[in-house]
Structure 1
Amino acid sequence: MEFFFRVKTVAEVLDIISSFPPLPEEEVDLSEALGRFAAGNILSPEDLPPFSRSTMDGYAVRAEETFGAREGEPTVLKVVGEIPMGQAPDFSLGPGEAARIATGGMLPQGANAVVMVEHTETIGDLVEILRPVAPGENVLRKGEDISQEDIIIKGGTRFTPALLGLLAGVGIGRVQVRQRPRVAIISTGDELVPSQERPAPGQIRDINTISLSAAIMEAGGLALPMGIVPDDEEALFKAVSLALEEAEVVLISGGSSVGTRDYTLKVIERLPGSELLCHGLAVRPGKPTILARVGHKAVFGLPGQVTSALLVFYILVRPLVCHLQGAQGKELFLPRTWARVSRNLASAMGREDYIRAHLSFNEDGLWAEPIFGRSGLLSPLARAQGLIRIPQNSEGVYQGEMVEIFLLP
């Protein structure tokens, strides 16, 4: 019979995770910032664009002078110049005047709109405007994208390609981020062999190290595989002690359920200054999960089955890895959406269920098709695009009901 002590809900463990202090800051180039998290708010030092510019090839004009223009009764303006790309115009537009301009060109003083070249006809140094334009039409105004002193990025936001482009556009080349957490991975079990070796009868390849390493890197952490440790308490104690010297987070894969071969809990209790925070998680799959604190560092005992281990990683370890990097709010979690479930799903009150799912669209929107399989099978998770979350206070969901989906990387 199994006993679980200090069983926690997912919400309770996430609250515990928020108490771990984020890692120190460091400054990096924009080229190294993708996927990192801003350590604080970043303000724009200038306007973007820095000048009003054309979004079309055509003629810069005073918009009010084109009102009423149409084919057969065009507005005729005098062309007083052409604006070269990459140069500021050395003239301004007066009444009845226009200037040739290319896409991206800087509007001259006095102009407030651009007429597309397709809506004009030229006669010598005159241009006929065949359609009217409104003020600001075909123009990006100075500061329309970002104004000086605007907040470009709030602290805790993940840097995306678009955000990095925005920073480059206002001349910011380096940013403050939190350090990447080092996450050590220890796989336990006498039956395990490295994934590149051929297992003997009764042995299996170590899948968890590779899967968890990839998940850590996706979350922005640095994976530190510590190798395979046999079912021996002293060997595991040495491995965990070494891992705590090198990493901020330690993942022990296997040996987290209560049983005769369970050394994870014993090892954690022996660690100086350790505090057991959770032994048993109100979630399926993943009930035999351990979380302990050693100083400012976290030690997780994950289930040995790879599907359960990855699920616990996604809902608990990944938020911690992101939190240590300074992530806030939705940035802590996998992206989420809502979909209709394709069949009835039963659940038990008092625990959260996470069910692998294939996602597809039809005329009714997004649908989630559950993918069933034992927790020891990895292929169902490999085929899944999301996880259906059934809340703790629910006895299940009915076909066609809207369910929350965690989108898998």
Structure 2
Amino acid sequence: MSDRKEFRDLASPERAREAIDSLDLEPEPETVSLEDARGRVLAERVDAGIDVPGFDRASLDGYALRARDTFGADEADPVALDLVGSVHAGEEPGVDVETGEAVEISTGAVMPPGADAMVMVEETDESGDQVLVRTSVAPGDNVMLAGADIAAGERALGPGTRLTAREIGLLSALGVDEVPVRGTPRVGIISTGDELVRPGGDLHSERGQIYDVNSYTVASAVEEAGGEAVTYPHAGDDYDEMERILTTAADECDLVLSSGSTSASAVDVIYQVIEDQGELLLHGVAVKPGKPMLVGRLADSAYVGLPGYPVSALTIFRTFVAPAVRDAAGRPEPRTATVSGRMARRERYQEGRLRYMPVGLVTAGPKDQRGGNGDTVGADGNGETLVYPVDKGSGATTSLVEADGVVAVDPDTDYLAEGEPVTVELFSPDVRPPSLFGVGEDDPLFSRLLDDLSNPRYLSLGSREGLRRLRDGTPDAAVTAGPVERDVDAEPLGEWTREWGLIVPTGDPDGVDGLADLVDRDLRFVNRTTDSGLRTSLGEAVAALAEERGADRRELVDAIDGFELAVRAHESPARKVAAGGADAGVGLRASAEKLGLGFVPLGEQRVRVHGNPDRTEKVGVTELITALDRVPDLAADLPGYRSANEESR
């Protein structure tokens, strides 16, 4: 039996943070040009080397003069001064101002010698070679003295200052053309596993290959935290290859992040490389998702091993690694937002680890809902925000976009009760709950309707699950297809029909005429999941055939090769047929024609949109009602679809 690295002593989350904090991620400071300085962090104090402004300058258009010459002047008794010249911005004065004289001057121009004040043009009148001043001014009035903005030797900006447009403006005024800044930590990113293929490459699903998600999602998260992401070729599960790529990244980067190959498996070798080439500080953290986490040192670089599943990898990075990257880059903690809500349904949890549970938000009415720090997080709630778990499993990448934040669940928690208050830490202060939250049947016409809404979220969970959740009061709307239970209080919003049947290869080479062929012949079939309306309609058709033959329905089901082979989306059976994986599949005429396949009709399904009766005034629901006016036009463009208006004619 081969040796296996076990998770015997899982570190606490606090111990994991301490281990990462002990790693030195901070790079050496560097000097960059002012053009490249935006967003960087000053490494040293910058003092003013010159006065700003470097001369006494006029604040307004008007006349430079000696203040004492205007004493006593007013509207009724103006003072007449001889006009002896003019000075414009950007030129050196060519005249001195003596007693009883004035010089015309432009905003920003150098004050001429002898003048100690100026009067705005609106308070004067010209009369030949003289100017009549109708107000009195004091020395320094309307003049910005040299160094009034910032004087030479003064502290301009301190270390740790993040350089934005304002700070760069000040540095420009000081004549600074390059600045010392904190170095950007270089973070090497390595996805591991023989099954990975980079997006854009040829994917062979029959070999178990999957596209590399983590190289791109983790690199984006590193950049958001202030680091410089460097992606490396993915590493297979061979020790020598893993060692070569890891040590190369360690030589070139301040921190190396790998994802995958960290679980307790005989084929996982990263921990062996770390132990052989560096130091392994911990292996395994008592947190979900993300238990298989490594922290250590590799050569002169820090190392953190992330889990392989994208949701787990990003959760661990965001929770443990991002703060260290921000600290190394001199970035402040990001502005976070939280929102309080109540659990939409009961959620069990008995694993004894801290859990970061991905959740979605849905608001219950037309008013504002604000986060715990005052940030508006929803444009249509009534003070009640419902929180529902979004957990398709750690391997589901769609959880990344279907969740709005996380709820931290204590290790001692057995379950969260329906209606229990919880605090959601949003993934970003910019997160907004969806304008409309819908669940139910996967339907191509409804997908097109959603394009008309401002910020919808729709979960294709099937007709039965859609109605169940609507019965629980969580979604704003549910979509069903085919025969479904009707014991739910719902507002009918719209409906149409779609033709369904058997999808077969182009030209129907097996000569499939109907459902009986699946029962009587040796044909490979692919079905939909039990929550699907298509599966329900097919089940009723099988029951009708059984009654017609005087047979038991179960006998017919058992006779269909693949009846229990279920796929989740409306096009999935068609695509399996197109790929040669089945001789027939249940589906829609629209799917068959889209993919150029044959179609054997079995009937029509009624598709209904049900509204939550408590949300009819919600903005997203009213948007949906408006969008439903387009059903006749959309149905006309989809093969096998008919609107309710067409049915009534």
Please say whether Structure 1 and Structure 2 have the same fold, judged by a TM-score greater than 0.5.
yes
Aligned-pair CA distance for 1:187: 0.4
Change (3 A) 1:362 1:188: same
Match of 1:54 in 2: 58
Change (3 A) 1:104 1:357: farther
Match of 2:314 in 1: 310
What is the alpha-carbon distance in structure 2 between the residues aligned to residue 18 and residue 108 of structure 1?
Answer: 62
Asked if structure 2 preserves the Cα contact closer than 8 Å seen for 1:57 and 1:117, the reply is yes
In the TM superposition, 1:135-284 aligns within 5 A as: 139-201=143-205, 202-259=208-265, 262-271=268-277, 273-277=278-282, 279-280=284-285
Change (3 A) 1:300 1:400: closer
Match of 2:13 in 1: 8
What is the alpha-carbon distance in structure 2 between the residues aligned to residue 135 and residue 345 of structure 1?
Answer: 69
What is the alpha-carbon distance in structure 1 between the residues aligned to residue 124 and residue 409 of structure 2?
Answer: 62
Pick the aligned partner of 1:102 from 102, 106, 131.
106
Change (3 A) 1:303 1:140: farther
Match of 2:376 in 1: 367
Match of 1:320 in 2: 324
Asked if structure 2 preserves the Cα contact closer than 8 Å seen for 1:67 and 1:132, the reply is yes
What is the alpha-carbon distance in structure 2 between the residues aligned to residue 65 and residue 310 of structure 1?
Answer: 73
Aligned-pair CA distance for 1:168: 2.7
What is the alpha-carbon distance in structure 1 between the residues aligned to residue 75 and residue 369 of structure 2?
Answer: 44
Q: Which has the larger radius of gyration?
A: 2
What is the alpha-carbon distance in structure 1 between the residues aligned to residue 128 and residue 170 of structure 2?
Answer: 41
In structure 1, what residue type is equivalent to 2:376? W
What is the alpha-carbon distance in structure 2 between the residues aligned to residue 261 and residue 83 of structure 1?
Answer: 82
Asked if structure 2 preserves the Cα contact closer than 8 Å seen for 1:62 and 1:113, the reply is yes
Change (3 A) 1:24 1:142: same
Aligned-pair CA distance for 1:91: 4.3
CA RMSD of aligned residues (A): 4.7
* Counterpart secondary structure, 1:47: coil
In the TM superposition, 1:257-406 aligns within 5 A as: 257-259=263-265, 262-271=268-277, 273-277=278-282, 279-280=284-285, 285-325=289-329, 327=330, 331-333=331-333, 335-337=334-336, 339=337, 341=339, 343-344=341-342, 351=354, 353=356, 365-368=374-377, 373-374=390-391, 376=395, 381=400
Asked if structure 2 preserves the Cα contact closer than 8 Å seen for 1:6 and 1:277, the reply is yes
What is the alpha-carbon distance in structure 2 between the residues aligned to residue 117 and residue 394 of structure 1?
Answer: 77
Count of residues in correspondence between the two structures:
398
* Counterpart secondary structure, 1:142: coil
Change (3 A) 1:372 1:33: farther
Where does structure 1 lack aligned partners over 5 or more consecutive residues?
A: none
Change (3 A) 1:378 1:88: farther
Higher helix share: 2
* Counterpart secondary structure, 1:300: strand
In structure 2, what residue type is equivalent to 1:274? E
Asked if structure 2 preserves the Cα contact closer than 8 Å seen for 1:4 and 1:258, the reply is no
Change (3 A) 1:362 1:274: same
Asked if structure 1 preserves the Cα contact closer than 8 Å seen for 2:19 and 2:295, the reply is no
What is the alpha-carbon distance in structure 1 between the residues aligned to residue 412 and residue 426 of structure 2?
Answer: 13
Q: Work out the percentage of aligned pairs sharing the same amino acid.
A: 34
Aligned-pair CA distance for 1:276: 1.0
Deviations 1:353-385 (A, max 9, x none): 586889xx969752235796346555665688x
What is the alpha-carbon distance in structure 2 between the residues aligned to residue 133 and residue 393 of structure 1?
Answer: 74
In structure 1, what residue type is equivalent to 2:269? Y
* Counterpart secondary structure, 1:223: strand
Match of 2:128 in 1: 124
Asked if structure 2 preserves the Cα contact closer than 8 Å seen for 1:59 and 1:117, the reply is yes
Aligned-pair CA distance for 1:15: 7.7
Aligned-pair CA distance for 1:221: 3.8
Asked if structure 2 preserves the Cα contact closer than 8 Å seen for 1:14 and 1:316, the reply is no
What is the alpha-carbon distance in structure 2 between the residues aligned to residue 390 and residue 162 of structure 1?
Answer: 38
What is the alpha-carbon distance in structure 1 between the residues aligned to residue 84 and residue 20 of structure 2?
Answer: 69
Change (3 A) 1:288 1:401: closer
What is the alpha-carbon distance in structure 2 between the residues aligned to residue 400 and residue 5 of structure 1?
Answer: 27
In the TM superposition, 1:34-73 aligns within 5 A as: 34-60=38-64
* Counterpart secondary structure, 1:313: helix
Aligned-pair CA distance for 1:246: 2.5
What is the alpha-carbon distance in structure 2 between the residues aligned to residue 73 and residue 372 of structure 1?
Answer: 81
What is the alpha-carbon distance in structure 2 between the residues aligned to residue 74 and residue 372 of structure 1?
Answer: 79
* Counterpart secondary structure, 2:275: helix
Q: Which moved more, 1:238-247 or 1:23-32?
A: 23-32
Aligned-pair CA distance for 1:251: 0.7
Change (3 A) 1:2 1:296: closer
Q: Does 1:82 align with 2:86?
A: yes
* Counterpart secondary structure, 1:164: helix
What is the alpha-carbon distance in structure 1 between the residues aligned to residue 273 and residue 339 of structure 2?
Answer: 42
In structure 2, what residue type is equivalent to 1:280? V
Asked if structure 2 preserves the Cα contact closer than 8 Å seen for 1:340 and 1:399, the reply is no
Asked if structure 2 preserves the Cα contact closer than 8 Å seen for 1:89 and 1:108, the reply is yes
Change (3 A) 1:240 1:57: same
